[in-house]
A and B are shown apart, each in its own frame.
Chain A
Amino acid sequence: MMQPIQIAALIVAVIHLARIISLWKNSKIPTKAAVFWFLIWFAVLVIVFFTPAIDALSKPIGVGRGIDLVVYVAILGLFYVVFQLYMKIDKLEREITKLVREIALKK
């Protein structure tokens, strides 16, 4: 018997998976990004269906509930993504400045 939260997670995951596949098919996103996001949402599916397995994984490393482990990992993952984005924006800003300065000195 599935809990309501599992059903909700399932629906959200399936919607995102379908979206990623359609974006990738229309070449709206690169294959690398498609694979990355596909795996993320696929992982959500796995977690929804195999909650006991996640529990078995979390116990030995000292995390009581499997879902807690999932949350911890997710937060770490988000931090990583935010940092990557920060670095990327920083680089873009530098490049914009370089362009603006070159244009200013050309005239």
Chain B
Amino acid sequence: MNTWIVIAAYNEEHSIASVVKELSKVGYKNVVVVDDGSSDDTYKVAKHYTKHVARHVINRGQGAALRTGIDYALKEGADIIVTFDADGQHRVEDIPILIAPVKSGEVDVALGSRFLKEGSNVPLFRKIVLKGGIFVIWLFYGVIITDPHNGFRALSRDAAEKIEITMDRMEHASEILSEIKKRHLKFVEVPVVIRYTQYSMAHGQSSFNSIKIFYRMLLHRFSK
């Protein structure tokens, strides 16, 4: 089966090389990096390690970048698409576990969850914010997910074609869940480990950004 890894990268010149290298070391050669209008050398660095690099001329947000990457992978004939973060917070060794249920045809989508594993290393404040997110997702879409804003996912080709991401920024994570529900896709949550390094904490989402995300979800709901 043709597995493609999709990475959305925005100003990640310091981590993108090691992430792509790590992937290729364990045999994932089909890696598409979408440089989301970075102002640093993300594009150049990525180009050096994989031939599949798409570039947004201006920054449009992670949702838009993932969509571009998914379209790219679909065009290349991907059977399974894995979305992976550019800052090194996901572990390559979790990929086989994540894609297994998709590969076997058991489900259409596998979602990584950092809360399913015993002794997870999530910082307390972040935990509270993420739990609040779970409640909001349930309120909006009626699905209960232990970790809605985890960017580590595996999609079957069929699911990737069906899921429509229209929100450009971080709200896409919630939107994917609503699409899963709307399109009656089968999904499972798979325990994964998130590496909270100093780098990924500094580069990732601030917990306070969750307020902005919630606000935009509300607006989106009413402007449809």
A complexed with B: yes
A residues contacting B by CB (< 8 A) are 86-87, 90, 93-94, 96-97, 100-101, 103-105, 107
B64 & A101 in contact (Cβ 8 Å cutoff)? yes
Other 18 A-B pairs with CB < 8 A, given A97-B64, A101-B71? A86-B219, A86-B223, A87-B223, A97-B168, A100-B57, A100-B60, A101-B56, A101-B64, A101-B67, A101-B68, A103-B57, A104-B54, A104-B55, A104-B56, A104-B57, A105-B54, A105-B71, A107-B54
21 A-B pairs, CB-CB below 8 angstroms? A90-B223, A93-B168, A94-B166, A94-B168, A96-B60, A97-B61, A97-B64, A97-B168, A100-B58, A100-B60, A100-B64, A101-B56, A101-B64, A101-B71, A103-B56, A104-B34, A104-B55, A104-B56, A104-B68, A105-B68, A107-B55
- Residues on B with beta carbons closer than 8 Å to the beta carbon of A100: 37, 56-58, 60, 64
Residue with the highest number of chain B CB atoms closer than 10 Å, among A87, A93, A96, A101: A101
Against A, the Cβ 8 Å flags (1 = close, 0 = not) of B110-132 are: 00000000000000000000000
A10 to B58, CA, bound (A): 46
The total number of A-B Cβ pairs within 8 Å is: 40
- Does B75 belong to the interface (CB within 8 Å)? yes
- Does B10 belong to the interface (CB within 8 Å)? no
A77 to B187, CA, bound (A): 46
A94 to B75, CA, bound (A): 22
- Residues on B with beta carbons closer than 8 Å to the beta carbon of A105: 54, 68, 71-72, 75
A97 & B60 in contact (Cβ 8 Å cutoff)? yes
- Shortest distance between the CB of B164 and any CB in chain A (Å): 12
- Shortest distance between the CB of B129 and any CB in chain A (Å): 26
A97 to B168, CA, bound (A): 8
Nearest A residue (CB) for B63: A97
A57 to B71, CA, bound (A): 59
A107 to B55, CA, bound (A): 9
